[in-house]
Homo-oligomer: A and B are copies of this chain.
Amino acid sequence: MRKEIKVFAPASVTNVSCGFDIMGFALDWPGDELVLRIKKQPGVVISKITNDEGKLPLDPYQNTAGFSLISMMNELELDHGIELEINKKMPLGSGLGSSAASAVASVFALNEILGRPLSKEGLLPFALEGEKITSGGKIHADNVAACLYGGFIIVRSLNPLEIFNIDYPQNLHCTIIHPHIELRTAEMRRIIRDNVSLSDAVQQWGNIACLVAGLIKSDFSLIERSLQDVIIEPIRSKVIPGFEEVKRAAIGAGALGSSISGSGPSIFALSTAQGIAQTTADAMSQIFNEMEVKHDIYISKINRNGPKIIE
């Protein structure tokens, strides 16, 4: 058995417009890098976390990567120990599934170093255990599933947990803009109403039905018309300064559609080609430049395979 492995786990976009809480997709970048080392001494030690501005706990029971790993080790009854180094090559609290990437990276790394005793389906519950730490005990499977499986995923049901990958057009590109403003995930959850009007719900499931059909059939025109969220975006977008302008700029630049990534503040746009994704990025960036809001930009294809071994 090798003693050390280095892996990458991707960022992910969830709540894809009309797909609140049920749809997500993975990105080629940014993401987390994680080194996992087998040690003789039992237990999990997180020896180093880079690029987290000191925000993430080294205590493995408080850390998504650490806790995912502990859950998995308990289940597999491993008697050796593990040392982790986490390099956050993606922003925290940005709506891009940072904690999901850490959770997936750790269980994927352990599974690979052990010679793959578990399938991805088998890894999912452990990554979700870790992810729970950051979501106050509630399970949101969309980021973890998108990160672990790659591609576009749909969460059909949380109990029992059922995740499906759906086909999507190969030339689909994603532009992400991450404004440097801080939103609290709990707060972003709180402002959503517990009830929605039936007529809005009907509109939403008409759109999600057609978005799925559009993705599977590579019908860009249908994808474009279906990327509409009448329920969550109108509420959450109010706390992201410049959202409407950025979205308008993205669509004006040729993107198929644009909405909030996860619970924000990142904003994603989908395009049919690399060039349009770049033009879209420029247009979105210009708005935040005018508003003097610092931001990062990422352009990425949809990640097909989820996490991967780097070394």
Contact = CB atoms under 8 A, between A and B. Distances in A.
A14 to B, nearest CB: 12
Interface in A168-213: 192-198, 201-213
A201 B203 contact: no
A194 B197 CA distance: 6
A124 interface: no
A70 B195 CA distance: 42
A202 B20 contact: yes
Q: Looking at chain A's contact residues, is the secondary structure mostly helix, strand, loop, or mixed?
A: mixed
B217 A156 contact: no
Interface in A4-24: 18-23
A157 interface: yes
Given A212-B213, A213-B164, A156 B206 contact: yes
Contacts of A193: 198
A166 interface: yes
A167 B216 CA distance: 11
Q: In this complex, which of A23, A166, A202 has the most chain B Cβ atoms within 10 angstroms of its Cβ?
A: A202
A213 B166 contact: yes
A21 B156 contact: no
Contact of A157 (B167, B203, B212): B203
Nearest to A22: B206
A52 interface: no
Contacts of A206: 21-22, 154-157
A156 B208 CA distance: 9
A239 to B, nearest CB: 18
A162 B222 CA distance: 10
Interface in A94-120: none
Nearest to A226: B156
A21 B202 contact: yes
Nearest to A214: B164
Nearest to A210: B156
A19 B222 CA distance: 18
A19 B195 contact: no
Contacts of A18: 205
A162 B197 CA distance: 21
A295 interface: no
A23 B209 contact: yes
A225 interface: yes
17 contacts: A19-B209, A20-B202, A23-B209, A154-B206, A155-B206, A156-B209, A156-B210, A156-B226, A162-B225, A194-B198, A196-B198, A198-B231, A201-B231, A205-B208, A208-B208, A209-B211, A212-B213
Interface of A: 18-23, 154-157, 162, 164, 166-167, 192-198, 201-213, 216-217, 222, 225-226, 231
